[in-house]
A = this chain, B = another copy of it.
C-alpha cells in the first residue's frame, strides 16, 4: 500500500457565517472572519490517494489523471470564486476549512475510485498557521 499526494491551489473569497444566528452572534463566534464584505485566502489543497503500485507501470495512479480530476471536480468550481455564493457543493454550509475538506472529499471520492485507488485524505491549508485533514 502506497500513499500518493497531489497539491493544487485556489484563491477564493468567503466569510464564516451561520444563517441561524444574528450578525452580532456571528461576530461573537467567528470574529473578523464573519465580515459581511468578505475576506479571502490562497488555499492549498493536498489530495492523498492510497493503493497498490502497479508492478509493470510503477505507479499507484497516474498523477496527471489525479490532477485532472481535482481540477475538474474542485478547482474550477472554487478558484477565484466566492465560496459562500457561487459553489454548489458548499450551498447552505458554513464555509469553514472543516466543511471545505469534507465537501471536497465528497466531490472527489467516486472519481478517484475510477482510477483504481482510494481517496485517503483531503487536507485544506487556509493560512500558514492552520489547516484541516479529513479521512472520510
Contacts and interface: CB of A to CB of B under 8 A. Distances in A.
Interface of A: 1-9, 11-14, 16, 18, 20, 29, 31-33, 35, 37-42, 48, 53, 56-60, 62-64, 79-82, 85-86, 93-99, 101-102, 127-135
Identical copies in the complex: 6
Contact of A58 (B9, B32, B40, B99): B99
Contacts of A18: 56-58
B80 A20 contact: no
Contact of A82 (B37, B97, B133): B37
Contacts of A33: 80
A58 B59 CA distance: 37
Contact of A11 (B40, B85, B134): B40
